[in-house]
Amino acid sequence: MSVHPMIPNPNDTAFMSQYLEALSLVERLHRLLLDVIKDEFERVGVLEINAVQALLLFNVGDNEVTAGELKSRGYYQGSNVSYNLKKLVDMGYMHHQRCEIDRRSVRVRLTEKGRHVCDTVANLFSRHAEGLQGKNVISSEGIEEINTALRRVERYWSDQIRYIY
């Protein structure tokens, strides 16, 4: 057993190595997802929005949400949600309206143009889901196991943040 806190217990090094690999994979997969979305929009000739903006439109979908709600979902690594929302409103992909109850809050929803982008992303994801299953890359059970594990890590990290304060 190691006495130094920075030198892991030899029994834990395999787990630590796997944990670091998982962190790296999550980060790479997110970047790769953005590249896949970017390539799809280049293929269909929609060049005025970026992948983060397209993903933001997809995640809004049929809902009417506040910028704060989108920020709290945390889908937009390394991006400024407020800036992207303003750009999407200016380009006609979203409507925005001040909330009647809290005038500081702005609610956004998709326009028809934004709905088209949302549908493009949904179709891309649908093709990928079919391809993953059809080519036996991963089963329904495999995806469920991944999601369960990732939700547990999310819960653990959330608890760590709460206990700091």
Which pLDDT tens digit goes with each residue over 139-154?
Answer: 999 999 999 999 999 9
What are the backbone angles phi and psi of residue 70, rounded to the nearest 5°? -65, -40
Q: Is the pLDDT of residue 2 over 60?
A: no
pTM listed for this prediction: 0.84
CA–CA gap between residue 25 and residue 5 (Å, rounded): 26
Domains and CATH numbers, the chain: 13-134 (1.10.10.10)
pLDDT score of 134: 96
Which pLDDT tens digit goes with each residue over 19-70?
Answer: 999 999 999 999 999 999 999 999 999 999 999 999 999 999 999 988 778 8
CA–CA gap between residue 82 and residue 129 (Å, rounded): 31
Helix axes 81-90, 51-60, angle to 10 degrees: 80
Rg (CA), the chain: 20
pLDDT score of 40: 97
